[in-house]
């Protein structure tokens, strides 16, 4: 049991907030445009509130911040922010589209799992701690990983591990899980799963626990993370104002590929091949930046090493 509060170091804290508030044009030349500090912003993944707190410190009295999070512990942390400009919704960020169209000056999505989630054994996210095999972001609803593994078809388990964990030993791991539950009953703890994977995977990259990819796969699957990301990205096109910023920090290749392809897809004009002389549909986004953590940040916070931040501008289309 932990005797000290679990802490979280926000990745690319200043870079993300700066990217949200960057002025896309010169306000002296466009006096009708709202200043960034007066806008309404969305922290789509509140976590432990690092980005939200810094952003609030930069906003004017007219600015507003709307946050989303499924984690009840994140909601408790948000309750400590006593600021009339701030509100949090107990929802996944797929519900971003419920906000009014073109009402938001910037959307931030930090897709990382917070350190308190990883380091709290009772959440079941980490193979480093003994705990229930849960992994739900929102523990008030849905199936835990243990409940799903109890009777999921072996082929489905293998598909999840292969596709969401990019694990080349997915099939042997799934067969081992099936053999284990037939012989001794379903897996119920993180250590049971980690040990089973370690016994099944005989080779692994230096410095990586054999269970890393399997735990990642099950967490992504049980929380529907990639589907939620895709839905939230699509919704951002509707809620962002022209000139608004989309800032996304991802931590593994599956997420970053979705973000990269989404920005690329909407950063070009669309031609209707059935009507070659028709006016093309204008692009909706303009890709601006791709940012990695500084060497200093990685040294101070090793969990930031895989982060990639992509920034795009909502065009007037």
Residue 5 φ then ψ, to 5°: -60, 140
pLDDT at 22: 85
CATH 3.40.50.150 domain range(s) in the chain: 13-29+36-115+225-314
On the 0-12 / 13-18 / 19+ scale of CB atoms within 10 A, 65 is buried
* Strand segments (E) across the chain: 40-43, 64-68, 86-89, 104-110, 240-250, 285-291, 308-314
Note the pLDDT of residue 30. Answer: 45
The ranges of the chain annotated as CATH 1.10.150.170 are 124-223
Low-confidence ranges of the chain (pLDDT < 70): 1-7, 23-34, 115-119, 269-281, 317
pLDDT in tens, 16-62: 999 999 865 533 344 445 678 999 999 999 988 999 999 999 999 99
Please enumerate in sequence order all residues whose Cβ is within 8 A of that of 227, keeping only pairs 6 or more positions apart, or say none: 94
Which residue has 């169209």 as its token pair?
101
Q: What pLDDT is stored for residue 55 in this prediction?
A: 96
Phi first, then psi, for residue 139 (nearest 5°) are: -80, 0
Q: Which two tokens stand for residue 150?
A: 């109890």
| Non-local CB neighbours of 98 within 8 Å, separated by 6+ positions | none
Domain range 124-223, its CATH number among 3.40.50.1820, 3.10.20.310, 1.10.150.170, 3.40.50.80: 1.10.150.170
For residues 75 and 92, what is the distance between their CA atoms, to the nearest angstrom?
A: 12
**What pTM, to 2 d.p., does this model score?**
0.86
Contact 286, 310 (CB under 8 A): no
The whole-number pLDDT of residue 162 equals 97
Check whether domain 13-29+36-115+225-314 has CATH 3.40.630.10, yes or no: no
Across the beta sheet with 86-89, the strand order is 86-89, 64-68, 40-43, 104-110, 240-250, 308-314, 285-291
Q: How many C-beta atoms surround the C-beta of residue 195 within 10 A?
A: 16
């Amino acid at each position: 049991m932990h005797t000290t509060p679990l802490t979280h170091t926000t990745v690319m804290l200043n870079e993300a907030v700066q990217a949200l508030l960057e002025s896309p044009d010169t306000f002296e030349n466009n006096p009708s445009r709202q200043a960034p500090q007066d806008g309404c912003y969305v922290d789509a993944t509140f976590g432990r509130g690092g980005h939200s707190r810094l952003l609030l410190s930069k906003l004017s009295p007219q600015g507003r911040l709307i946050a989303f999070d499924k984690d009840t512990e994140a909601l408790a942390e948000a309750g400590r922010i006593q600021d009339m400009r701030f509100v949090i919704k107990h929802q996944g960020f797929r519900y971003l589209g419920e906000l009014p169209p073109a009402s938001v000056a910037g959307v931030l999505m930090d897709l990382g799992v917070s350190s308190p989630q990883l380091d709290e054994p009772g959440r079941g996210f980490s193979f480093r701690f003994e705990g229930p095999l849960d992994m739900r972001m929102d523990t008030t609803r849905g199936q835990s990983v243990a409940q799903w593994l109890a009777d999921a078809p072996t082929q489905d388990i293998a598909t999840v591990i292969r596709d969401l964990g990019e694990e080349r030993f997915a099939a042997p791991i799934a067969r081992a899980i099936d053999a284990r539950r037939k012989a001794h009953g379903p897996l119920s703890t993180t250590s049971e799963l980690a040990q089973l994977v370690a016994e099944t995977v005989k080779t692994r990259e230096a410095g990586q626990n054999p269970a890393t990819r399997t735990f990642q796969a099950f967490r992504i699957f049980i929380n529907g993370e990639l589907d939620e990301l895709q839905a939230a990205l699509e919704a951002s096109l509707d809620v962002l104002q022209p000139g608004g910023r989309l800032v996304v920090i991802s931590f593994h290749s599956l997420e970053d590929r979705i973000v990269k392809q989404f920005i690329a897809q909407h950063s070009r004009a669309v031609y209707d091949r059935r009507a070659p002389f028709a006016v093309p549909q204008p692009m909706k986004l303009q890709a601006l930046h791709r940012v990695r953590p500084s060497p200093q940040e990685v040294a101070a916070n090793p969990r930031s090493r895989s982060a990639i931040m992509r920034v795009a501008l909502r065009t007037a289309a």
